[in-house]
Structure 1
């Protein structure tokens, strides 16, 4: 690493010195205790005591160096050497004059990073970026990550990063007989310098990568926050309920694209959306995007919930297997409240002339969710609406004309004002469809 890039190496060596000093202090303490045991115990007992103390002191050092930090949950890129994505990565590496990554792996995280492995640094790319960013944007986004490969091959940086990762694991899991407080103190000292080292490496890599797709990089950064927000919304409103029900939606990245397109059309976020979508997406660089989407979708619950969900779920089955059963349970468990009872009564006799006496009681925190479920299930049972998946809003109702039922507005009027007018008017409208 040339020029000002030697600063990360200095910080890496500082981290290694802290680790060496901690080990030296432990060894000196062990030697002092061993010498005391040899002096106090006679003959063979003294020798045995010395060996016992030294062996006891060596165990945590051996265990520390045997720590293998867990690798991120990823999907290896099939036919990596022959894929267009690998070709682009090699082109960027050559343009920047850095080594190529040992492999390319895919993650459901909205991020891209270099992960150390035994065979060398691996480039991990988040599939949400692959599916939404255009190829030029993806090149601009990956360039500074790939530029970090120079530091990732520096021996001092590699050892420093490994030390910090091992200290993190030792702090979380404990490493007797070392006190947790002592491990945390050493880890904090190393981590502070490691953060400074990573900032310098990132700044140097960013500066170096400016020659690769500068315009694409600007456009990519405009999209990154949007992708992350839409991904979080998709997981929260659709994926988490499915995982809780024991199903893993099998095309989450395709759903993300649908959500972002809907967001662009609905809120006019994406000016020139049609032009953007006419450009080649990053996922087109994969040999089998559909297979990759299914493979990555299967590990999403592992990444976000730390548990595997074995049963894949096609989106066409989502309402039948996830949404409706959940809402039926919520409706059955709705609180015993006058608003709920009167809503049930109105849905059982949805004639326009039905009279409802208003009650001014906003209810408790469980009321809106229970009332919403009762309303949705009742409208479906009447045949006035059907459950549907909205990529942005989660599970919604659509009437017989295909329009979204204004459930939120109706529930708001019921809970906040005990006003059944909106519900009666919508029932009259639906009856005429």
Structure 2
């Protein structure tokens, strides 16, 4: 396999030459300025000017090589080297004939990759995959990633990747006194070669990994898009409102599993779902999946939202602590509109007074949101429904028979055609339960 690494290594060396030429060009320019100052200025003035110019030449080079790209937010695998997950990683590495990662860590991202560290590259696994994939699928998914360890230990590739990461940081944050335009140009030259290098490495790793769980790899790739979509929906509809309220819901990965199972059953994409779920989930390879889920869930808002600590929140308290207070605030601040006023009258609700109490005109999109909040809170206050949690749709209402209240249909009928007959019919139905 050493011959297969020739092309990626050549591109890596090209990146290093570009960096060396850019540094040399800057050094020659600075040396020319120092020489000109020494020749054109009096000795008393030339010495301090030359020192300043020399410092200006050395400082950005020194600062550039001191750049440490930010590390991903990860957690080490519980159980350390003796965990079953680490054992499987070592088995895959042995089967592929590549070095073993220096460690295995977990991330809330829907991805798996090798991250460089001082002691060698570590394997980072996204927990959404770990919780949803079966063991054989996880092995198939990780095989091409682990196969990339050969490249991750090549000195030229390691140095080239480090240069590209530093250039990304320097381009974004600056590296004075280097002009940003110069940094951007060098970064673009290196980035193009780096993309080609990574494509070659990925293709070679994929080819090499074919011997490990070929069927599991196919099944895993079928699930990747589903996992990413489910994770995004869970974070958007349930986690983000909690983060904005100062809470961090725990067991997000277990919630993802519930959401994907529900999606499979609801949208008829779960052919063979029961058989698949009967297989061992990959999260069982952890010593304490529940504890790890809670630990990762605490990290999720630091990755996907502003880095502020939030209070842990169990799902059983979600509606009472997050959803209902937000809906009641929205209902109290609903715009002054005839549809909302008539809805309040029909539900026998008082018009709120005080801050945000129905004292403004409805803006675009504000009427449906305000009407929805008024309707939901009103139905709960009448005793016809209660707040409930749906893993796919977020906070919903369930009637006294346990069925989902068709809030969307009721709101659409009101907003689109000012039709109150659907709401009256539903209230009549609810009163008979």
- Asked if the contact 1:112–1:145 (Cα under 8 Å) also holds between the matched residues in 2, the reply is yes
* More displaced stretch, 222-231 vs 2-11: 2-11
Residue 184 of structure 1 aligns with which residue? Answer: 184
Mapping of 1:87-236 within 5 angstroms? 87-236=87-236
Mapping of 1:27-426 within 5 angstroms? 27-43=27-43, 45-348=45-348, 364-426=364-426
Counterpart-to-counterpart distance in 2, 1:121 and 1:427: 61
Measured against aligned partners, the alpha-carbon deviations of 1:351-404 in whole angstroms (never above 9, x if no partner) come to xxxxxxxxxxx9842110000000000000001100011000000000111110
Residue 22 of structure 1 aligns with which residue? Answer: 22
Measured against aligned partners, the alpha-carbon deviations of 1:109-154 in whole angstroms (never above 9, x if no partner) come to 0000001111110100000000000000000000000000000000
Tell me how far 1:44 sits from its aligned partner.
Answer: 5.3
Q: What root-mean-square deviation, in Å, do the aligned CA atoms of Structure 1 and Structure 2 show?
A: 1.2
- Asked if the contact 2:347–2:378 (Cα under 8 Å) also holds between the matched residues in 1, the reply is yes
- Asked if the contact 1:102–1:120 (Cα under 8 Å) also holds between the matched residues in 2, the reply is yes
Counterpart-to-counterpart distance in 2, 1:364 and 1:163: 48
Residue 3 of structure 2 aligns with which residue? Answer: 3
Tell me how far 1:4 sits from its aligned partner.
Answer: 2.8
Counterpart-to-counterpart distance in 2, 1:44 and 1:78: 65
Tell me how far 1:78 sits from its aligned partner.
Answer: 2.3
Counterpart-to-counterpart distance in 1, 2:89 and 2:364: 56
Measured against aligned partners, the alpha-carbon deviations of 1:218-238 in whole angstroms (never above 9, x if no partner) come to 000000000000000000000
Residue 357 of structure 2 aligns with which residue? Answer: none
- Asked if the contact 1:104–1:123 (Cα under 8 Å) also holds between the matched residues in 2, the reply is yes
- Asked if the contact 2:137–2:216 (Cα under 8 Å) also holds between the matched residues in 1, the reply is yes
- Asked if the contact 2:79–2:286 (Cα under 8 Å) also holds between the matched residues in 1, the reply is no
| Secondary structure at the counterpart of residue 397 of structure 1 | strand
Counterpart-to-counterpart distance in 2, 1:24 and 1:318: 59
Counterpart-to-counterpart distance in 1, 2:118 and 2:39: 45
- Asked if the contact 1:243–1:309 (Cα under 8 Å) also holds between the matched residues in 2, the reply is no
Residue ranges of structure 1 left out of the alignment (5+ in a row) = 350-361
Tell me how far 1:46 sits from its aligned partner.
Answer: 3.0
Tell me how far 1:75 sits from its aligned partner.
Answer: 1.0
| Secondary structure at the counterpart of residue 226 of structure 1 | helix
> Cα gap change, 1:48/1:309 in structure 2, threshold over 3 Å: closer, same or farther?
closer
Counterpart-to-counterpart distance in 2, 1:105 and 1:299: 13
Counterpart-to-counterpart distance in 1, 2:386 and 2:307: 32
- Asked if the contact 1:108–1:300 (Cα under 8 Å) also holds between the matched residues in 2, the reply is yes
Tell me how far 1:305 sits from its aligned partner.
Answer: 1.2
Tell me how far 1:49 sits from its aligned partner.
Answer: 3.2
- Asked if the contact 2:106–2:127 (Cα under 8 Å) also holds between the matched residues in 1, the reply is yes
Q: Which TM-score applies when normalising by structure 2?
A: 0.95
Q: Which TM-score applies when normalising by structure 1?
A: 0.95
May I ask how many residue pairs the two structures share in their alignment?
421
- Asked if the contact 1:127–1:253 (Cα under 8 Å) also holds between the matched residues in 2, the reply is yes
- Asked if the contact 1:363–1:415 (Cα under 8 Å) also holds between the matched residues in 2, the reply is no
Counterpart-to-counterpart distance in 2, 1:287 and 1:36: 67
> Cα gap change, 1:364/1:41 in structure 2, threshold over 3 Å: closer, same or farther?
closer
- Asked if the contact 1:245–1:322 (Cα under 8 Å) also holds between the matched residues in 2, the reply is yes
Counterpart-to-counterpart distance in 1, 2:67 and 2:376: 52
